[in-house]
Structures are given as structure tokens and as C-alpha cells.
Amino acid sequence: MNALLTRHSTLPVDPLFLARWSPRAFDGVALPEEDLLTLFEAARWAPSAYNKQPWRFLYALRGDAHWATFVALLDPFNASWAQDAGALIFLLSDSNSPTHRFDAGAAWSHLALQAHQLGYQAHAMGGIHHSAIRNELAVPEHLHVDIGIAVGAPGDPASLPDTLRQREIPSDRLPLDQLINRGRY
């Protein structure tokens, strides 16, 4: 589905922002590692406070030795559909930087937009087993486990359970006047 057909902006933003969304239907094919590295390279160029670049990524490619572990570290709801992605990623951020979560969010955004530009889809997930990720993947204490990310080529929405299939459309956003205030809140 072309997200541009259903999403509209009242201001002249680049169509890239309207077209990118987070579907759950993946084709079940491993992502080529070169393409995944391109996503990480885009994330590397995200802005960060004092150029600290506090984000770190752990990843598994579909079918590799780490895949089953990464799927098991997702909550059951997310694992039910993300297991068909081509790659799974955990985004970490260095808590020694006061803006680590903000900066990691910028890196996620760059990764997601680059995925879209390459014809892939990326879906961020908060439903992950944070403590288990730290233990299973030997994440150092100074790194915060932020989100999981499923990336892959689009799949057939018919492969999803009915409840998810009905939600497999680009979501809208709150109107701008609900998000901004000039001056005081």
C-alpha cells in the first residue's frame, strides 16, 4: 500500500515523511547484510549532543545463529509477527550521556528513513524483555536497552492474524495545534 495515498500534511513536508510507516507484515527473507550495514551507516550520521553518538546496535539476521535468541527476547505479541522480519535489532544507548535516549531516537529515525529509501520497512518495538536482553546479550551496565527493531522487505498482510491485518494501514498523526505551543505551555 502506498502510504502517500492515505496520509496528508497541511504543510509542505517532504513526501518521505508521509510514506514511511511501520507495518508488521514481512516477507520472511533474510536482509542482505550489506543493506543492513547501510541502515547502520545512515544511523551513524544522526545528530547527537556534543557529538557523543551514544547509540549502539546489536543485531541478528534471519537464519543466523543468533536469530532464535533475538526472537525469544521479544514479547510474545511482537514475536508473533517480527519473526518474519529479515533482521532484528536492539537499540542501546549510553546512559553516561544525559541526552542518550534523545540521541538514540535520532539514530532510530535515520535508520527507519534509510530503510524506507531502500524499499524495506522498519518497525520499532517497546515490547521487549529488557532485563533478559541485558543478561542474554551481555549488555554492559552503562548501556540502556531502549527498543527492538524489526526490518525487512514488505510481506503479504494476509499472513497476519485478523486483528493485526485490520491495523496494517498507515496511522495518522495528531494535528499540529495539539503538539505545539508558542511561549508557555
Q: What is the pLDDT of residue 123?
A: 96
- 8 belongs to a structural domain: no
Beta carbons of 18 and 67 less than 8 angstroms apart: no
Q: How many domains is the chain partitioned into structurally?
A: 1
Q: What is the pLDDT of residue 4?
A: 45
Task: Return the amino acid letter for 41.
Answer: E
CATH, residue 134:
3.40.109.10
Distance between CA atoms of 57 and 179, rounded to whole angstroms?
30
Buried b vs exposed e over 138-164: b needs ≥16 C-beta within 10 Å? ebeeebbbbbbbbbbbebebeebeeeb
- 93 belongs to a structural domain: yes
Q: Which domain holds residue 116?
A: 29-156
Q: What is the pLDDT of residue 1?
A: 45
- 48 belongs to a structural domain: yes
- 178 belongs to a structural domain: no
Model-level pTM? 0.90
Q: Which are the contacts of 96, defined by CB distance < 8 A and separation ≥ 6?
A: 54, 142
- 164 belongs to a structural domain: no
- 24 belongs to a structural domain: no
Q: What is the pLDDT of residue 116?
A: 95
Block mean pLDDT (10 aa), the chain, length 185: 65 80 89 98 97 98 98 96 97 97 97 97 97 98 98 91 79 82 87
- 17 belongs to a structural domain: no
